[in-house]
Structure 1
């Protein structure tokens, strides 16, 4: 199973939707909460070029946010990404 890393905040509905979609796939992401560790927002922005959450990586592939994750699933590509080691 792939390593899934996600930068999140507690009150973000898109973060919750991403976690729900991943849970349906049997995946629990490694979460980095930037609301409780605000210094990590800079790290997230440097890695992704984005300011918004969630920011999701599957292994070394930067997926983007929830809508990008959802689009991968609808295109039938998410399961293959999650199956990679």
Structure 2
């Protein structure tokens, strides 16, 4: 599913999910505002959820325990 995303979305998802960076740090890496980073994260997560066939998961937040794919996978095992 990740491969179905464009390069920009893959980078956002990688920084958010695997590097576990908050939006303000993603913004610094990408040279964009923190607000733009938050919006891009939200949109990329939505597209990834659609690619995975889980449209209702698109709105999951960035903050909190268990909200990244890595954390959810750890909880499931």
Query: When the two structures are superposed, what TM-score results if normalisation uses the length of structure 1?
Result: 0.33
Higher strand proportion: 1
Higher helix proportion: 2
Of structures 1 and 2, the one with the larger relative CO (CA 8 A, separation 6+) is 1
